[in-house]
Amino acid sequence: MNILKIITPAILLLAMSFPIDSPAKTVVSLEGSAIWQTRNDQRVPGKGGTEFSLSDFDKGPFPGVRLYVGHTFNERHEIRALYAPLEVEIDGKFDQAVIFRGSTFAANTDTKALYKFNSYRITYAYHLEPKGEWNMAWGFTGKIRDAEVRLTQGALRESKSNVGFVPLLHFQANRALSENWLFRFDFDGLAAPQGRAFDLAFFLERSLEWNNLSAFGGYRTLEGGADNDEVFNFAWIHYAVLGLRGEF
């Protein structure tokens, strides 16, 4: 599935639905991250499989990147898209035999694992009137999840993949700390009986006073998963982030 072929026309369609009677603003934000996992529990199938943790293989750090492109119309309406690939390959050994998709992976044997959780999102946010020093916006996010867990032991290889749509609520807030410094908070998340997904970040941003660029750094965490007959997986991922943001 070529996700970008879906996202790009959707952004253009949403953008055209808003009349523009004031200057619009485009924002591009690029994040580079060092990523750690403190939980990555898997059981496939959800009933009958053996639970194991990929965080026992390797907690990180792993390299990561995110790209946001957003557009604001009439000062209040914002549409943005996110490309957030996450794919790591790690080596380890199970301390007990593991049943994964009906195959048995032996204990104390070299095992290669792939964990993929790519995220593609489109967000709409409505910016409220400022409250004192705070600027806030509420909205909703449509997320496409492209996930896979794969185990390999010699010639034995099994994989569980899933591509699905996840609706999320969105909230963002920022506050100027001085003329050049800004605190920024960002959140996408929702919980339901089928599972949960939370993505939140705290950043300090510094204006570079050059071509409308700013640099930022901070912490992002991603937590969630699902528990059903087909699959059990819950992960908690942490990001140390540095990035650049430009307004045009």
- Token pair 């000062």 in the structure block, residue: 75
Length of the chain: 248
Measured between alpha carbons, how far is 16 from 167 in angstroms, rounded to an integer? Answer: 22
The encoded tokens of residue 154 equal 């010699």
pLDDT value for 176 = 96
Measured between alpha carbons, how far is 37 from 101 in angstroms, rounded to an integer? Answer: 23
The encoded tokens of residue 127 equal 């910016």
The encoded tokens of residue 24 equal 């619009």
For the whole model, what pTM was predicted?
Answer: 0.88
User: For the residues of 183-203, what is the DSSP string, one character each?
Assistant: EEEEEEEEEETTEEEEEEEEE
- Dihedral angle of Cα 206, 208, 212, 217, to the nearest 10 degrees: -40
pLDDT tens track for 81-136: 999 999 999 999 999 999 999 999 999 999 999 999 999 999 999 999 999 999 99
From 186, 221, 171, 182, select the one nearest 205 (Cα to Cα): 182
CB 89 within 8 A of CB 114: yes
25 backbone dihedrals φ, ψ, rounded to 5° = -135, 130
The encoded tokens of residue 80 equal 């943005």
Beta-sheet pairing, 98-100 with 134-153: unpaired
For 129, which DSSP code? P
pLDDT value for 4 = 44
User: For the residues of 104-117, what is the DSSP string, one character each?
Assistant: EEPTTS-EEEEEEE
pLDDT value for 211 = 76
pLDDT value for 46 = 94
pLDDT value for 23 = 57
Q: In the chain, what are the helix, strand and coil shares in percent, each to the nearest 5? A: 5, 70, 25
Which segments of the chain have a pLDDT < 50? 1, 3-9, 11-22
Instruction: Give the fold, CATH level 3, of 3-179+222-247.
Output: Porin (2.40.160)
pLDDT value for 8 = 45
